Every structure is written in structure tokens, then in C-alpha cells.
Chains A and B, each alone.
Chain A
Amino acid sequence: MSVTGMTRREWLLSDAPLTRRQARLGALYQGWLTFRANKLAMFGLVILILLIGMAILAPWIAPQSPFAQNLAGRLAPPSAEHWLGTDALGRDILSRLIHGSRITLFIVGTVALIAPIIGLFIGTVAGFAGGWIDQVLMRITDIFLAFPKLILALAFVAALGPSIGNAVLALALTAWPPYARLARAETLTVRNADFIAAARLQGAGPMRLLVRHIWPLCISSLIVRVALDMAGIILSAAGLGFLGLGAQPPMPEWGAMISDGRAYILDFWWVAAMPGLAIFIVSLAFNLLGDGLRDVLDPKGDKS
């Protein structure tokens, strides 16, 4: 570090940061310390890092191809050769789970990117513009909120045709309204703040105010909300997959794998049990992470 006689930790925790960068990094470090004290949240983080690593390295760490069929060895119980057993077509379940993590991460990642951005845009525009624009946008949001989410997603996918892309779209279309509400509430609290007036006096147009001044303020509460919603997104995505409306066979999507195992549940339980366990562990990890992040970024809110 540039300052002599000071450890990096002291530099980060300094009460009187010398530069904006030091202040920002210091705040991040403080947040990290709070987060790290939460053992469960750390546990969630570790699992998710492992999951991401698994998805990246899938072709190298999966013991077999996720598509290689072996009808002679179908529905084999867990063994040394197939740690988690094989499915109805003799495919290695562990390898399919490992490859399936890519699909899960893809769906969750995309939905968690699209929905908050739609919500952020609609919510901040509504809150910032006010008047009839606000009225119309919020009415639309309310209508979507009043809808049964899963059924709406079902109807969307049915209309667009089942595929992984349409599943993502349907989930995003049903997931944005809470973000819009949140972003609007945040916007209303800062809309009349002096610093916005100051920026306006400097000649900033509405678009610039929105993008440079209001959006950054909404981000942290949106992140918390996204982290808490991740588990729900995973579960909904798996539900769509289970109904055959997400990734199509032979792709190793976890929800679809449970659906494959459903017919054999009474005699060959592992076929359905293993992917379900994987879904449970990952969404648990997201819930733990979300709790931890909330403690750091938004200490007031309680889980609702």
C-alpha cells in the first residue's frame, strides 16, 4: 500500500479516508467483515462458488458424458462406478447433475439480470416522472402483481412454445413487478433531494439524472431483493422444467430430471431424489447468501 507504516487492514478501516477510492474500498471491506461474521451466509457463498466452479469445469470433472446411454446398466443404484446411480436410459446421474448446473445458472443468472432491470427502469421512470406516467405504470405493475405467477408463466410458455429461452422470458415477465415497486419507492425518497436539484441546476437532463444519480442509489436494495429471490427463481425454473416447459430433452435440466424419475419413484428412488437434492442445496445456499447480504446492505428490512 502507498501509505507507509500502515497495514492494508488499517488503511481499509481508516476513519478518515484520504481518497474516494479508499472510502469506497473501506465501505466494501466493512461490509465484508459483517458478512464474514455470518457463518451461514459464508456457507451459502462457499456452496455457490463451488457450484460456479462446477459449471465452468463441467466437461472436465464430470466422470462421463451426460448423454451417453447404456441401456444394459439402466436404473442402477448408486455404486462406486456411478456415485449417484443411473437413470432410465442408463445415463450417469452425477454427470448429468454437473452439466445441469450450467443450465440452472444460466436460467437464474438471466432472469436475475432481466427482471430487476425491467423493474428498475419502470419503477424509476414512474417515480421520477410522476403524474399520469406514474399512474399508468404502477397500475400495470399492480395488475401483474395480482396475477398468479406460476400460472401466468405457464400460459406464456404455452403461447410461445416450450424452450429454455421462453422459460427465462416467462419467469422474467412474471418476476419484475416487485422490483418496480421497490425502485419507485427508492426514487420517491430521493427525487426531491437537494443533490438532485443541484445536478439539475448544472444542466443535467432527466435521462442523465436517472442513469447517473438515481439508478446507483436503487442498486443496493435491488441486489438484496435479487439475492433473496434467487431461490424462488430456481424453484420456479425447476417447476417449469418438471412440467416439460423448460429445457427440452435430452438436456440435463434438474427439474426435468426429477420428472424423468417420477415414474420410477417407488422402486428406483435415486433417479428423482438426486436432482431434487441438488435443487434444494443450491436454493438453500442462495437463501443463506441473501440473508447475509441483507444484513450487510439493508439492516432494517426483515424477511417478508
Chain B
Amino acid sequence: MLSLALTLLGLLLVTFIIGRVMPIDPVLKVVGDRASQAQYEAAYQAMGLDKPLVVQFFGYIGDVLTGNFGRSISTGQLVIDDIRHVFPATLELATLGTLIGVSIGVPLGVIAAARRGGIIDQVARVVALVGYSMPIFWLGLMGLLVFYGILGWVGGPGRQGIIFDGMVPSVTGLILVDSLIAGDWAAFRDAFSHIILPASLLGYFSLAYISRMTRSFMLEQLGAEYITTARVKGLSEGAVIWRHAFRNISIPLVTVIALSFGSLLEGSVLTEIIFSWPGLGQYITKSLLAGDMSAVLGGTIVVGVCFIALNLLSDLLYRVLDPRSK
């Protein structure tokens, strides 16, 4: 817990420093180019920039802990409200991507290890190698070209077609869930046709990582003595692998999946740009290009907090799942 708090503090310190060293003058952004010297001074003091850095830092921590990231210059809204608005889109995308990655990557890794050197193992190796070497944004573009431009199988950029925009009442902010709650099948189909391509893309990268890790964990377990015990009992190979070996790798696998989910939250930056996905990644990038630092730093902190929360969650799950940790 203490290390998590320290990590959080470090995160805030880094964002604070970035916010202070950047060459963009935050006061000018507020008062505009034509402000008089007096106006400038007043704003300078109102923003607390005349106080010592340490005091400013503690003020900053207080602000962040109360969810006050300042006001976005480009949208005119409070950053926290903006983020509340865009975060569900990213969450929905990353969750579906992780689901795809886990549901394919885990079995692939297990089978690759069980039939080491076999065809599935070779396929898994190539799939992972390509995944580790492919620029995600480029693959996204090519996917759009093929599946949207040429084949027309999926919806184009964005989360929804224009006619469905704002038609489904927002409950969770996750459109797939909201449209199900509303019982609106047409909206669900539309949202699904939009999300499936970017989610598959993220899912592919997640599966490349998850399948490699699964395979390597699995190989380690399959060499263990208790596996011989299970075979001596007369268990079928399926039971040996799934009931015995897999139960043992499921514990470290939880951490891997949490890590991969975190990296999808982050990795969605480029994907969101490609697919015009109105999520956190796109928000951060757009703000960044507009020099809107409070929005960028707010977004960075939210992603960082998600990382820390995921670490905490996987630690807790580890403790629940592993009988040896009690």
C-alpha cells in the first residue's frame, strides 16, 4: 500500500514538473496576448504562481485528490468533466480488446506449450512475432481500408453511425451496454460494427503478448514433478493440462492480463486517433497539439491512476487465488 502511495506521489511530482517546465506560459493562455501588465500580474497571483514551488506542489496534490485538474482551454469545460465524458469510450474499447486477447491468446499459448514444436506452436510464434513487429496505427489503417473501404463489413470511424448518435440514453457510458439496457438492437448492432475492428486490433496486440507469456508459464509448469504425479494417476492429457498445469499458471496469468489491460488503456491512444474514437487517448492527443496542458496532465494522471489501480487489483487477486500467499 505504501509503495502504491509513493508511486502515486511520484506520478504527481512528474506531471507537476512537466507542467512547470513546459515552455508554454500558462498565464498567457488564460489572459490572452493582449492583456496589460497589471492584468497579467493579477492572473499570475490568482493562479498561485508567485508562491514557492513546494507550496504550489502541495496545492497541486490537493487539487488532484479532489478531482480538480483545472479547466481545459480548448473545450472550456472542467478537465474532470471532459474526462468523465471520454473515459467510458476508452474503457469499452480496452475491455473488449482484452476479452478478445484473453479468449484467443490463453488457449493458443496453452496448446502451443502442450504441443511444443507442433503446427499450432509455429502459428502462435508467427502470430506473436508479427504482433511484436507491427505498428498498431498502420495495421488499423490497413484494417479500415480492407474491412471498411473495400469489403464494407464494419462500420467506419467513430463509435456510432450518425443516425444513432445520442439516441441511446447514457447509463454506463458504454454504448454496447447502454443499448442493451435500452433494448435497442439496431443501436447495438451499429455500435458493435464500429467497435469490432479497433477492438480486434487491440485484441491482436494483447493476444500476441498473452499467448507468449501463457506458453512460457505453461512450459515451466509442464516440466514440474506434480505433472508426472497427475500422469501417474492415469489422468488424461486434457485433465493434466487444464486441471493441473493451467490452474497453476492462472495465478501469474492474472498479473499478465492486468498488465495487458493497462497497456491497452494506454495503447489505445494511436488506435483512437486512427478510428476517430472519442476516448481518452484522442482527448489527450488533441489537447496536446492545442497546447492545453491541464487537459494533457489530467489525462496522464487518470491513465497513471488506472495503472496503479490495476497493479493493486492484480496483487489482491494474487492473494485470493494463490493458497501459498495466506
Residues in A lying within 8 Å of B, measured CB to CB = 139-140, 142-144, 146-152, 154-156, 158-161, 231-232, 235, 238-239, 242-245, 255, 258, 261-262, 265-266, 269, 272-273, 275-276, 279-280, 283-284, 286-288, 302-304
List the A side residues contacting B10 at CB < 8 Å. Answer: 139-140, 143-144, 146
Q: B15's closest neighbor in chain A, by CB?
A: A155
Contact B135 A152 (CB under 8 A): no
Task: Find B7's partner among A142, A148, A158 (CB 8 Å cutoff).
Answer: A142
Of the listed stretches B41-49, B195-203, B291-299, chain A binds B291-299
Q: Is the CB of A266 within 8 A of B145?
A: yes
What are 8 A-B pairs with beta-carbon distances under 8 A?
A: A143-B6, A155-B296, A155-B297, A159-B23, A235-B136, A242-B135, A265-B141, A283-B135
Q: State which of B68-76, B158-166, B180-188, B302-310 sits at the interface with chain A.
A: B302-310
In the complex, chain A residues whose CB is within 8 Å of the CB of B289: 243-244
Point out the residues of chain B lying under 8 angstroms from A275, CB to CB. 138
Q: Say whether chain A's binding surface is mostly helix, strand, loop, or mixed.
A: helix
Q: Give the distance in Å from the alpha carbon of A275 to the alpha carbon of B19 in the complex.
A: 34
Cross-chain contact of A266 among B21, B149, B270, B304 (Cβ < 8 A): B149
Given A146-B308, A160-B22: A283 touches B133 (CB 8 Å cut-off): yes
Contact call B303/A280, Cβ cutoff below 8 A: no
Chain A, residue nearest B285 (CB): A243
Q: B266: which of A151, A158, A284 is its contact (CB, 8 Å)?
A: A151
How near does chain A come to B213, taking the closest CB pair, in angstroms? 7
Does the CB pair B18–A159 fall under 8 Å? yes
A266 to B263, CA, bound (A): 29
**Contact of A238 with B135 in the complex, beta carbons under 8 Å:** yes
Question: Given the interface contacts A154-B285, A154-B296, A304-B213, does A148 sit within 8 Å of B303 by beta carbon?
Answer: yes
Contact with A along B132-166 (1 / 0, CB 8 A): 11111111011011001100000000000000000
Taking CB atoms, residues of chain A closer than 8 Å to B139 are 276
Please tell me which one of the listed residues A146, A154, A269, A276 contacts residue B269 in the complex, with CB atoms under 8 A apart.
A154
Number of interface residues of B (CB under 8 A): 56
Say yes or no: is B123 at the interface (Cβ < 8 Å to chain A).
no
Chain B proximity of A246: nearest CB distance (Å): 13
Asked if A148 and B135 sit within 8 Å, CB to CB, the answer is: no
Whether the Cβ atoms of A146 and B311 lie closer than 8 Å is yes
Q: Once the chains are docked, how many angstroms separate the CA of A231 from the CA of B132?
A: 8
- The contact of A276 among B132, B138, B149, B300, by CB within 8 Å, is B138
Whether A150 contacts B138 by the Cβ 8 Å rule is: no
The answer to whether A152 touches B300, judged by C-beta atoms less than 8 angstroms apart, is yes
Cβ distance B138 to chain A, nearest Cβ, rounded Å: 3
Chain A residue with Cβ nearest B13: A143
Neighbour of B145 across the interface among A151, A242, A269, CB < 8 A = A269
Closest to A272 in B: B141
CB-defined contacts of A273 to chain B, threshold 8 Å = 138, 142, 145
A157, closest chain B residue (CB): B288
B141 touches A284 (CB 8 A): no
> Within B115-144, which residues are at the interface with A (CB < 8 Å)?
129-130, 132-139, 141-142, 144
For residue B19, which residue of chain A has the nearest CB?
A: A159
CB pair B135–A276 under 8 Å, yes or no, is yes
A-chain residues with CB within 8 Å of residue B144 when the two chains form the complex: 265-266
| A148 with B266: CB separation less than 8 A | yes
Contact status A151-B300, CB under 8 Å: yes
- A204–B149 alpha-carbon span in the complex (Å): 68
Query: Is A279's CB under 8 angstroms from B135's CB?
Result: yes
Contact A276 B274, CB 8 Å, known A147-B11, A147-B304, A235-B135: no
> What is the CA–CA distance of A302 and B285 in the complex, to the nearest angstrom?
35
Per-residue CB contact flags for chain B residues 197-216 toward chain A (1 = under 8 Å, else 0) read 00000000000000011001
A280 & B134 in contact (Cβ 8 Å cutoff): yes
